[in-house]
Amino acid sequence: MSTAPKPTVQNPFASADAAGRYAAGRPAFHLLVLSRLAPHLTGRELGADVACGTGLSSAALAELVGEVRAFDASAAMLAEAAPHPRVTYAQAPAEALPLADGVLDVMTVAQAFHWFDHAAFLAEARRTLKPGGVLALYDDFFLGEMEGEPNFGTFAKTYLARYPTPARHRDPFGETEAQAAGFTFHEETWKHPLALTQPQLVAYLLTHSNTLAATENGTASQDEIAEWLNEQLAPFYAGGGTRNVVYGALLTVLRREG
C-alpha cells in the first residue's frame, strides 16, 4: 500500500519583505509565555533563542538569563533585529548551531518548530544543552475569536479559505517523541486576550505564513491583502479603539536527560 508523499515545506519568513512585515506587525507576547518557563529553569547563565526572527523572543529570553545567543537562518530577519546589550545575533540554521557541546542552560523556539527538521533539531538541542538543561517550544496563535463578537469566527473562516495555511512539518510530537529524543516532557495551553486596534490586527495578519505565502506566490500583493482585511474588519471596529482578540498559547518544556 503506497502513501501520499509529504508536501514540500518551505519557510516563507526568509525574505526581506517578510522580515519587514514581521518587524512592523508582530505583537510582543513572548514574555507573557516565558514567565511560565521560569520555574522550570535550574540554570540562568546562557540561553539560546533559535529562529529568533526580529529579536522579540530573544529580548524576552534575556529577561530570564544573563546572556542570549540568538540565531536565525534568514539574514533579512536578523537585519531587522533590535540591538540588546545581552543578546548576540548570528545567522545559522536550527539544525546546525555554532555552539559547543553542553553549554546551554536553556534554549527557546518561538513559533518555528514546525519549520524545522524535527529529528535533526532535537539532536542539536540535546548536544548543546547541559544535562538537565531545558528546551522550550512555544507558540501564541490566532484563534479567530474576538471578545463580544460571535460573528468574528465567520471572518476567520473566510480569511483562511482565501489565504490557506502553507505546508509545514506536522509530524506528531508529544511525550513519546520527546522521550525517544532524550527529553522529559511537560506541556500546557491556555487562552488570553490581546488588545489590538484595527491597524494592529491588519499588520499582524500580514505577518502570517498564510498571507506571506500569498504574496510570494503572486496570488495577491501586500496592498491588496491589506485592503481586503480592512474591508472585512471594519464592522468590528466601527467605534474605533481597541478590541480584545483571543489568542491561544502553548508552552512545551523538554528537559535534557542524562
Q: The domain that contains 152 carries what CATH number? A: 3.40.50.150
Rg over alpha carbons for the chain, rounded to the nearest Å, is: 19
Sign of the alpha-carbon torsion through 93, 96, 102, 103: negative
Amino acid at 48: A
Instruction: Tell how many helices (H) and how many strands (E) occur in the chain.
Output: 10, 7
Q: Which residues contact 24 (CB under 8 A, 6 or more apart)?
A: 203, 207
User: For residue 17, which of 60, 65, 61, 79 has the smallest C-alpha distance?
Assistant: 79
Tell me what pLDDT residue 170 has.
77
Asked if residue 108 belongs to a domain, the reply is yes
Pairing outcome for strands 67-72 and 183-197 = unpaired
Contact call for residues 109 and 115 (beta carbons, < 8 A): no
**What does the alpha-carbon distance between residue 250 and residue 205 come to, in Å, rounded to a whole number?**
19
Mean pLDDT by 10 residues, the chain (258 residues): 52 84 92 96 98 97 98 96 97 98 98 94 98 97 96 96 86 93 97 97 96 93 97 96 97 95
Asked if residue 208 belongs to a domain, the reply is no
Tell me what pLDDT residue 14 has.
78
Question: How many structural domains are present in the chain?
Answer: 1
Contact call for residues 20 and 222 (beta carbons, < 8 A): no
pTM of the predicted protein model: 0.91
Cell of 104: 546551554
Asked if residue 51 belongs to a domain, the reply is yes
**What does the alpha-carbon distance between residue 239 and residue 78 come to, in Å, rounded to a whole number?**
38
Tell me what pLDDT residue 1 has.
38
Instruction: Supply the range of the domain harboring residue 70.
Output: 16-157+172-193+245-256
Backbone phi, psi, residue 83, to 5°: -60, 150
Tell me what pLDDT residue 2 has.
39
Asked if residue 35 belongs to a domain, the reply is yes
CA dihedral 228, 231, 232, 234 (to 10 degrees): 150
